[in-house]
A and B are shown apart, each in its own frame.
Chain A
Amino acid sequence: AQSVAQPEDQVNVAEGNPLTVKCTYSVSGNPYLFWYVQYPNRGLQFLLKYITGDNLVKGSYGFEAEFNKSQTSFHLKKPSALVSDSALYFCAQEGNTPLVFGKGTRLSVIA
């Protein structure tokens, strides 16, 4: 069965510092990989996706993610964090079934 792991429940980072939110996926064919963000009492907003090609994917709001096949990882990154980036982040994988989500990582950016 497909699975997505987000090993950190919470990530704290100072404003202006780089941030990384970690994600590993299970190997199942050629998975599509996604990052979504959820603000309080809101649905999920699409940030970026990896299908094939360049291992560095650029997305919305200055976020990017690096696909690493050998480590089965798809970590979310941003060079300079903003307080407004504070939210719940979900990594997801689509393979033989529609999206399988990780349990989420809460990002807190401290001014």
Chain B
Amino acid sequence: DAGVTQSPTHLIKTRGQQVTLRCSPKSGHDTVSWYQQALGQGPQFIFQYYEEEERQRGNFPDRFSGHQFPNYSSELNVNALLLGDSALYLCASSRRTSGRTDTQYFGPGTRLTVL
């Protein structure tokens, strides 16, 4: 049983560019959450997708957007990249039960470097 997978592993972009990160959830999971982990910090919640809709959003600007597909996979898009967007981007999947998500399982992350 494959766990959460993310692509690409590493990415280097320049300021002002746009980037798309991808995530495939663990089998049986229907909810995908994205987190940003800056160097030396804990992960910060970006947003969560369930039934192809954004359900909750953290304190991130509109430059950060996402999508969930019918097969539950998800994309994170970041426009107009800033140097401060350099971070490890983590995807987590879970099952939604009784209105709350069950344990979130994380992928290995995508390391984004903005030059």
Contact = CB atoms under 8 A, between A and B. Distances in A.
Interface in B1-39: 4, 6, 33, 35
Contacts of A32: 100
Nearest to A9: B40
Is the contact region of chain B dominated by helix, strand, or loop, or is it mixed?
strand
B43 A44 contact: yes
A90 B90 CA distance: 14
B85 to A, nearest CB: 19
A103 B103 CA distance: 20
Nearest to B91: A43
Given A43-B4, A92-B42, 20 more contacts: A4-B42, A32-B100, A42-B108, A42-B109, A43-B108, A44-B43, A45-B106, A46-B103, A46-B105, A90-B42, A97-B45, A97-B58, A99-B35, A99-B45, A99-B92, A101-B43, A101-B44, A102-B42, A103-B40, A104-B41
